[in-house]
Amino acid sequence: MSDSKENDEAGIERRDVLVAAGAAMIGGLAASAAIPAAAQSANNAPLGARLRGVQHFGLTVQNMDRAFEFYTEVLGGTEVMRDGDFQGERIHNTLLTDQEIEARVRRVNPRAMGVPDLRRGAQRLDVRFIQFDNVVIELLQYRDAGKPAAEGSFAEPLDHMSPAFPRMMHICFHIRDDVDFNKFIADLEAESARRGMTQVKANRIVT
């Protein structure tokens, strides 16, 4: 991440602190006394009670533009935010420290394990957030610096597609009750094929 972005984030954090401090003063002594008590109660609650639910699912993609087209133009999601060209020490440590440690334990080059070098900027990270009615999907693409999102990912995609492999994930969409499921699937495959997304296949009968 660039120094200017980090400075901007630090400035926002400072402003938030000042605003919060001013609000606390206006609230008076009674409100100020109630805040620590409420925080203490929340901090002692069961772990599940401290959560507000699932915020989003993250999905690493091979081609950002194609994935974005599929989730917005085919499935009808709405873009709510995008950012990109992330690099630097902070973002690298936040996302990739565990993989760096694993590479050291195995005594291998992190690049051989598909770990991008965001720290020095050899690779970059782009993200886009897509809103559906009840969930947000985050698309992530790690790419070589200097290459646009449409040219593909830094790492090769996994060949293993079976959901039986540990750490595999899936996303389940809730189709409306008044929609014919088989027709939806047929239309989905036809629209995807029209766009060259021939890998989109579902609801097959295997004999």
Q: Which fold has domain 57-194?
A: 2,3-Dihydroxybiphenyl 1,2-Dioxygenase; domain 1 (3.10.180)
Mean pLDDT value of segment 70-87: 96
Q: Does the model's pTM come out above 0.75?
A: no
Largest CA distance in the chain: 73
For CA atoms 42, 47, 51, 56, the dihedral sign is positive
What is the CA angle 101-167-202, rounded to 5? 150
pLDDT at 189: 92
Place 82 in a pLDDT band, splitting at 50, 70 and 90: very high
Mean pLDDT value of segment 182-191: 92
Helix (H, G, I), strand (E, B) or coil at 139: strand
Place 156 in a pLDDT band, splitting at 50, 70 and 90: confident
pLDDT at 7: 47
Residue 82 near residue 138, CB atoms below 8 Å: no
Q: Tens digit of pLDDT for each residue in 166-176?
A: 777 778 888 88
Domain spans of the chain? 3-50, 57-194
- Cα dihedral: 112, 113, 116, 119 (round 10): -90
Mean pLDDT value of segment 85-98: 92
pLDDT at 54: 85
